[in-house]
Chain A
C-alpha cells in the first residue's frame, strides 16, 4: 500500500536519476570503463606486435621502474622528474605572469574589464597544436629571437631556442596561462579592498601588505589555478612533442610512444597508471591545502 511518504521518496529518487543520470552515464562510459580497461591492460604481457596477451604479469611495472632487457636505466625517472619539474616551473611562471595581469585588469574601469579578460582568454580558443606550431616558428634556430640569443651568447651558435626544455617551458606556460588567469581573476574581482586599507592603516606596506591582505584573499583562486595548470601541464603531450625533442621528453610523449612507435600497450598502460597516481596525490594534497588555508571557502573544484 503506497503512502504519501513512499510516493514522495519514489519521485525524489526519480528526479535524482533524471538530473544525475546523463552525467553518470558519461563518466561511466568514457572515464570509468576505459580506465578499468587500461588498468587491466597494464597487467598483461606484451606481444611482439605490442598488443596485450596472456599470461598476466607485472613485467610492465618493472619496465616502468627502469628494468629492461639491457638492465636498469634511470631514463624513466628522469622523464618523470622532468615532467614534475616542467609542470612546477610552468605553473610558477603562470602565477608570476597572472598576478600582475589580473590586478591590472581588476583595477581598470568595470566596463573595460570583461574585454581585457577576453584578450587573455581568446588565444586558448584556437587549437593547441596550431599555437604550438606558432612557437616553433618563433623559437626555431633561424628565427630572429634565436639569432639574438646567439649573439648575446645565451645559447651556442647554430642552435635555436627550440627544441629543448626552455621551449617546452615557454610552450606550457603560454598554453596554460588562461587557466591561471581566470580563477585568479574571479578571486581578485571580489577582493575586499577595505582589508587592504586596514593593512595600510596597521603599518603594512609593499610586499608585506600584499602577502598579508591581498594574497590570503586570492589564495582559493590561486590554488584552483595551480590545479588547473599543474595537472594538465604534467601530462601534456603536444607541447613537449613539438617543442621538446629527445632531450626534453615528458611523460605524455613517453606514454604516447608506447601506443604508437614501440608499441607496447601494457607498458604504456602502466605508465598511465603511474601518472594517474601522481595526479591523484597532487589533487589530494591541494584539496587538503585548500581546506586548511582557504578557510571555509575552498577552491572551485
Chain B
C-alpha cells in the first residue's frame, strides 16, 4: 500500500476515538443566497454502527453526507473521523467510501476494474489487488459478471458492484446515498437484508441516507430524522418510532393520530375527540399522538365497560392492505381517528364501512409530542 495515500489516524486523539467513529459538531452549510442546507448539526456516530439519516428530499441529508465524504466543505463546524480532524483532508485522502445514488460506475471499465479502482489508486500491487477484488466479488456474488461493462448490468447487479467498489477498500466509514431508490420493491427488500448482513459481518460504520421510512426502520441501529437542515431526533429505531419527539418525526415515520390537547389535571387532557387519560406526565406538552396500530377496535356491543379512553364510532373507510386493514373511523364526539388492525381473523370478521364500532386508546400508548 502506498504510504500516505490514505491517512491513518494520527495525533493524540487516536487513543480516545475508535476506528470508524464520527463526530460532527456545529456543522453548517449555506449555499449562496439561500437558507442553510445544513444548520448547526451535532452528531456522534459510533464505530461499527448502522446509522440512517432519514428525511424528505431537500432536508439536507445528502449535503451532510457529502461533507463527510469531503465533496463539500462545511461553512462552520468540524468533522472528526476516527479521531482525526477532517478540515484540511481532501476527499481522496479520506478513508471514507461512498456508494452513489446513481452508482457512478466507470463506464469505460469492466466490473473487476471498477471494483479494483480504489486499490489501484492507492498503489496496491496487482496480485494483492486481484485477491481482494475476487474475494469481494465472491462475497457479493458478482463473480460471473467480472468481465462485463457497467452498461451491461441490471440495476441490482450495478448496486452490488457499487457496494463492492466501496467495501473492497476496507474504509473506516461507508456512505450510502439512497443506494436502493432506483430498484423495484422486491429487489430492494432483498438488498436491504444483504446490505445489513454485510455491514454486521465487516463491522464498518455505515451512514445510510434515505427518504424511505420503512427502509430506515428495517436497517438502522439508530436513525437521525432531518428536516430543514436540522436533526429533529436521533435515537435507536424503536425510540424514534415509538416515542417521536415532535409532530414532524411522528408524521414522517409512519402513520399517526395527532391532536392538540388541553391539560385538565389528574393525567387527563381535553382533545378534539374527547377527554383523554394519558399515562405520561403531561407537564407543558400541548400535543398528543397515538400510532394507528396501537388502537383497539371492538364491535359496539362488545365495547369494554368502565375503562378509560373508549369512544364509540362508525367505520367510514376500510383500506385492505393484505396483512392489515386501515380504518378511518368517525367518532361519536366528532372528529376522525385512524386505526390499523392485523387481519389475523377470517376476512369476514373485519369491519365494513358503516359499521358501528368502539375504539380504545390505552393511556400508556398515547405519546406527548412537541409541535
Contact = CB atoms under 8 A, between A and B. Distances in A.
A200 B70 contact: yes
Given A202-B165, A203-B122, A208-B121, A216 B106 contact: yes
Nearest to B5: A203
A203 B118 contact: yes
Contacts of A203: 5-6, 92-93, 118, 121-122, 169
Interface residues of B, number: 27
Contacts of B217: none
B108 A197 contact: no
B108 A204 contact: no
A114 interface: no
Interface stretch (B97-105, B132-140, B240-248, B265-273): B97-105
B279 interface: no
Interface string A201-212: 111110011001
A256 B128 CA distance: 61
B91 interface: yes
A146 interface: no
Contacts of A165: none
B92 A197 contact: no
Nearest to B70: A200
Main secondary structure of the interface of A (DSSP, over half): helix
A209 B97 CA distance: 16
A200 B108 contact: no
A60 interface: no
B48 to A, nearest CB: 21
B107 interface: yes
Nearest to A293: B108
B62 to A, nearest CB: 12
B71 interface: yes
Interface string B2-18: 00011000000000000
B327 interface: no
Given A201-B91, A202-B97, A296 B104 contact: no
B180 interface: no
B117 interface: yes
Given A213-B106, A216-B108, A295-B149, A201 B90 contact: no
Contacts of B97: 201-202
Contacts of A194: 100, 102, 104
Contacts of A293: 108
Interface string A33-65: 000000000000000000000000000000000
Interface string B295-330: 000000000000000000000000000000000000
A27 interface: no
B92 A209 contact: yes
B151 interface: yes
Given A204-B121, A209-B92, A198 B108 contact: no
Interface string A103-143: 00000000000000000000000000000000000000000
A213 B165 CA distance: 15
Interface residues of A, number: 21
Given A203-B5, A203-B118, A296-B151, A198 B104 contact: yes
**Highest count of chain A CB atoms <10 Å: which of B98, B121, B169:** B121
A155 interface: no
B71 A202 contact: no
B69 interface: yes
A290 B266 CA distance: 81
Contacts of B100: 194, 197-198
Interface in A268-301: 293, 295-296
Contacts of B102: 194
A201 B122 contact: no
Given A194-B100, A197-B100, A296-B151, A202 B108 contact: no
B118 A295 contact: no
B71 to A, nearest CB: 6
A202 B70 contact: no
Contact of A201 (B98, B107, B151): B98
A284 B65 CA distance: 47
A216 B108 CA distance: 7
A257 interface: no
Interface in A184-239: 192, 194-195, 197-205, 208-209, 212-213, 216, 219
Nearest to B96: A201
Given A201-B69, A203-B5, A204-B121, A212 B106 contact: yes
**Highest count of chain A CB atoms <10 Å: which of B96, B105, B107, B151:** B107
A200 B121 CA distance: 10
**Highest count of chain B CB atoms <10 Å: which of A202, A213, A295:** A202
A245 to B, nearest CB: 45
Nearest to A201: B98
A204 B92 contact: yes
**What are the 4 closest A-B residue pairs judged by CB atoms, nearest first?**
A202-B118, A198-B104, A203-B121, A216-B108
18 contacts: A192-B104, A194-B104, A198-B106, A199-B121, A201-B98, A201-B118, A202-B92, A202-B97, A202-B118, A202-B121, A203-B93, A203-B118, A203-B121, A204-B92, A212-B117, A216-B106, A216-B108, A295-B107
